[in-house]
Amino acid sequence: MINPDFKITIVGLGLLGGSYAMGLSKKGYKVKAIDINKDNLDYALNAGWIIEGSDDPRLVNDADIVIFCLYPDTLIKWLKTHQHELKSHAILTDVTGVKRSIISKIDEFLRDDVSFVYSHPMAGKEVSGAKYADTEIFKNANFIIIENDDKDAMKTIRELSETLEFANTTVLDAKSHDEMISFVSQLTHVIAVCLMNTSDNTHLKDYTGDSFRDLTRIAKINENLWYELFIQNKDMLIKEIEAFIKEVNHFKDVLSDDNEEEMKRLFRQSTERRKVFDKE
């Protein structure tokens, strides 16, 4: 558990920020929130998740922990403009889905007397706004902490994950994180989007089963957030896309050639690998 005397401010009170506020307030922490959207603030105030909320950056003045739940570019801009408002020795964290690019940009200007321990809660929903906040999304989710020299600050962010009751907490370096995310999250979103865009097959809706629905669920995508996430992880994502295209081309050749032996080998390999991912 986080030190009970710590004051916490959340910057960006959307679905994730709201769920953090909900979870932390439940455990007795006094949470403030900054958002430009008054609806989000009012909702959280009414729900008792925050004790104060406004668009005023000075709400971070007394915060021991500041949690940024913002889009990548907005996070960098906010910090550049308002970091003078931070208390000395404040511990900062975020929720961003890509890491190398934001860390390298923030490293260039971040004050020396604060610690930024980057983290990535692998939790979410396909809706946005504090009114959809729900601590249930943390229950089966991974919380990833990016390795940091400040071990005390890292410990505090690990306690944040425990306080919010994430299922697992893992430490990775930024490169390993971005590599992992380019495969398990970003490539899968590219595939779903491309499948929906291959042709307008909406007239086939009466014939689709759960396989198609499952595969394309994530083709409903927040265009502003995902544009930023993809661009900021472009190098790794392009490599994954190229490897995937190579594999699909190989499959096409195998099919064209009626290559029974190789096609069955591919089926057995995908079956074996996929079994590893089955939940117990």
Residues 99-158 that bind its own copies (CB under 8 A): 122, 141-142, 144
User: Residue 46 or residue 211: which is nearer to its own copies going by CB?
Assistant: 211
User: Residue 49 or residue 143: which is nearer to its own copies going by CB?
Assistant: 143
User: Residue 150 or residue 165: which is nearer to its own copies going by CB?
Assistant: 165
Least distance between its own copies and beta carbon 172 (Å): 9
Range 171-190, binding its own copies (CB under 8 A): 180, 183-185, 187-190
User: Residue 89 or residue 264: which is nearer to its own copies going by CB?
Assistant: 264
Q: Which two tokens stand for residue 254?
A: 């195998």
User: Residue 128 or residue 222: which is nearer to its own copies going by CB?
Assistant: 222
β-strand partners of 172: 146
8 interacts with its own copies by CB under 8 A: no
Least distance between its own copies and beta carbon 129 (Å): 17
Rounded Cα–Cα distance for residues 139 and 46 (Å):
24
Q: Which of 109, 168, 173, 175 binds its own copies (CB under 8 A)?
A: 168
Q: How many residues bind to its own copies according to rule CB under 8 A?
A: 83
Sign of CA dihedral 182, 184, 185, 191: positive
Range 205-224, binding its own copies (CB under 8 A): 205-209, 211-224
User: Residue 1 or residue 238: which is nearer to its own copies going by CB?
Assistant: 238
Least distance between its own copies and beta carbon 161 (Å): 14
**Residue 172, H or E segment:** strand 168-172
Stretch that binds its own copies, among 4-12, 27-35, 156-164, 225-233 (CB under 8 A): 225-233
Sign of CA dihedral 235, 239, 240, 245: positive
First vs last Cα of the chain: how many Å apart? 29
Please write down the long-range contacts of 99-107, taking CB distance under 8 Å and 24 or more positions apart.
Answer: 99/146, 99/174, 99/177, 99/178, 100/174, 100/175, 100/178, 100/232, 100/233, 101/72, 101/232, 101/233, 102/72, 102/75, 102/76, 102/232, 103/146, 103/174, 105/76, 106/76, 106/79
Strands 142-146 and 168-172: parallel
β-strand partners of 142: 168
Rounded Cα–Cα distance for residues 173 and 269 (Å):
30
Stretch that binds its own copies, among 22-30, 128-136, 154-162, 265-273 (CB under 8 A): 265-273
Cα–Cα–Cα angle for 160, 43, 86, nearest 5°? 45
Q: Which of 28, 46, 108, 198 binds its own copies (CB under 8 A)?
A: 198
Least distance between its own copies and beta carbon 145 (Å): 13
Stretch that binds its own copies, among 7-15, 50-58, 93-101, 245-253 (CB under 8 A): 245-253
Least distance between its own copies and beta carbon 39 (Å): 22
Radius of gyration of the chain (CA): 21
User: Residue 45 or residue 219: which is nearer to its own copies going by CB?
Assistant: 219
